[in-house]
Structure 1
């Protein structure tokens, strides 16, 4: 009889129902945990100290304390939970179920709290602000990571080289440098990357997507960092300066490249001919001389070029655009290099001189052509008759003899000539009369 009078909960092996304070019977939902028991930014139950865990449990690890044991186990992994509701939420990781979707962009999430944080992207709400610099953040965890910048806290260090980081994921990304692991690969070309963000940036090469636009001129960029660098052009901001000559630059990489002028460092060398260069891009352009690759072609005439800059200058021939003008005589030019050479007509400057005879020239190409008179070099040869020439222009004129081409015509009488010099001589007939 005494056993019959015992509390039914004492005789039952079932977990007793939660009290009304712990369960909303109208919504059948688990109420939010208190701030001390739940990390709303990570959506994880924080680990309890070792003293709160029952080390004797062999099947289900039980957490002792106010919330009771973890009796609800996941069949897919070794995690366990205090309530069936938390287990169901966890199982969405395995099933892929994302019941909460954004009405702005359609992005779906497993947790309602994650959806709420996501919606701050659309609303612009950043409720967590730094009391040091005023920077605002969508999530509290982002604020905590940011605050480490001010205090200098870098709790995550690499056991290979000792490099320290403020974030654990930054350490993981760094460790891939040592392991060589590149888990993110492009399904278009197979290029592999250590970080998913780098893969996304790369994929914009294939899609042509440029989501970051300049509000000053409308220029679009694939990366936000490229937009920021571009905006310095409008602001005139050049935060990186050379300690040798004081030259200032918008990009740190441009400063490093510039400093090689002073140091003479040319770390990039051609494995074909040994030529060395200060810039990797210059080496790539040079290597196309050996491969014959000309990836940039004109859609007007089909002419191909090694460099895109050369193509851009060439296209101005078709458009007639000459953006560079001489402040002395008003003459206009397709490129800045041509303007600089022209200015020497006014200044009389001849910076290039021959070491053999002392003759001076305004253009480097003229000096090179002249030097062939001393060396006897004739690198240009005709594939029709084998005749060789010291200048490419002379070869072109010669080839007109074989083709019969006369590209230079008189606008007065229509007579045509194979050489421009012959046309000029002819035109004197009209001007003299």
Structure 2
């Protein structure tokens, strides 16, 4: 599918090679001699007003993955989480086996209803009944379909002015798709999940849909950085040079730099299939496992706007979800998945493969964390406008920064202003 984002209409300015030099303050603040699409103002990462508008225009109106269906294997299983600036939600598999999502907030006095991270409603709370979600504050109860099932002393207190039918939970649009992930949308109206994805998963269809998937790894961390900076570590590969593991196992492979980006509507971007020479890294063992349709040691990746990455590498799928907490703080959730049909031996091998690269002490994760935190420290040192460059053009191949440009083209479209000048009133220089 051809993307709505096209760089062909932007003619880069002619450049003349000049002697290298440093810059004074005025030069440092001057806009780059590049098209607006090829740089961003750092206030897209640091300005609180921009952040609040992102929550409203992006996260409150778009489809967001929140968990995997295998985390709710049986009727009455639930999983709590947070979306869009960490608004509390609870995902429940009902008695009809349908997965639904609700705001995890009691309509009576606004208390959190389900407090555990996961569990089963079949087990009664001390203040409530089995198969119900019970608010500890005043004992209001809700069934697995979000309907109010009990108000203590209902008629005594409310007479005929209010009843259970008036106070059901706020249900969110929910769909299970693309490898069994649970997607939610806080907006009652708007584009369908399929229209939002716009064919971006077509290149992973065989791997994600041939067999049911199952989660085997979950970790989360709050990182002192803007969510976009973490997401960008998956959207550009020019920083391969930071990762010794990537240099040893990927960049030395013939054809590595020919790997192509494919840009989709709505800000999504995929990188084409390549293989990774894991045996080139000392201490790595031979990898035989893979996914349906994937060659041995294959690797492909898909980035979903505004803050999700599917990375299918060798024997396992990693899905990363970023939830912005503030302009300088992000909740990162990482899930590792294999096939539901895995034997214990195969599952153990997948876990080892996953954790070697992406576990809490994986070879790449620590370096990425260091980079994004350093970026945040540098950008917050001064309120003056500065500009970050995303101007590499290499025919949409792996070190082309089209992954960043396509992201900020969509960001600019939905925010109603260019990322090169994101704050009302223009740049401060």
Pick the TM interval, shorter chain: under 0.3
Q: Which has the higher helix share?
A: 1
Higher gyration radius (CA): 1
Q: Which has the higher strand share?
A: 2
TM-score of the pair, normalised by structure 1 = 0.18
